Amino acid sequence: MEERASVIKLLGLPDAFTGMLLIFSFILLLAPYLSGADFGPFKIPQFTDSARKKLKIIGPIVFLTLIVLFVPMIPARAPKPNEPGPADNTNKPGSPGTTPPKNDENRATPIDVRAQVQQHVKRANELYNDADLEGALKESDQALDLEPGNREARDLKAEIEGIRKTLNPAR
């Protein structure tokens, strides 16, 4: 199952602050119905009829909006660890008989790889929209070479291969 995050978590607001927002919005929701009530330390002021009408509209909207912000509905995109290939196992730092890797300035950082993958996927989509299935397939293959678990590239490649099978059933 895919991990999901709420908007509140993505904003990075402290839990205490978001809890207080929720409490105040709940009070705002109940205020027009309990106008003038006295609960000891909590006293709800007396509202005029026009203020009560406005609070009956604003209160539920604010409260429901905050509740929706707490619902985890946005897919959290955690980077997947790269799976080491057989060649990678022999060059691990700390393995007997190996030297520590040198700082290679030409080596791509994870951010650069992700950007390259997105460029290949973007080009593949453009070529696909221009009906260049071969070019789109090559671009999606290049994206998958850089990041084998990329869902967009995999889905696009599967769609292109399905279309190619439909167009050329003899293959």
Tens of each residue's pLDDT in the chain, 171 residues: 677 778 888 888 888 998 899 999 998 899 899 888 888 887 888 989 999 999 999 999 999 999 998 888 877 655 455 544 444 444 445 545 555 555 555 555 667 888 888 898 889 888 888 778 888 889 989 989 988 888 888 888 888 888 887 777 655
Residues 149/78, Cβ–Cβ less than 8 Å? no
pLDDT digits (tens, 9 = 90+) for 71-97: 888 776 554 555 444 444 444 455 455
DSSP string, 13-75: --HHHHHHHHHHHHHHHHTTTSTT-EETTEEPPP--HHHHHHHHHHHHHHHHHHHHHHS--EE
Q: What is the pTM of this model?
A: 0.42
- Alpha carbon 144 to chain centroid distance? 20
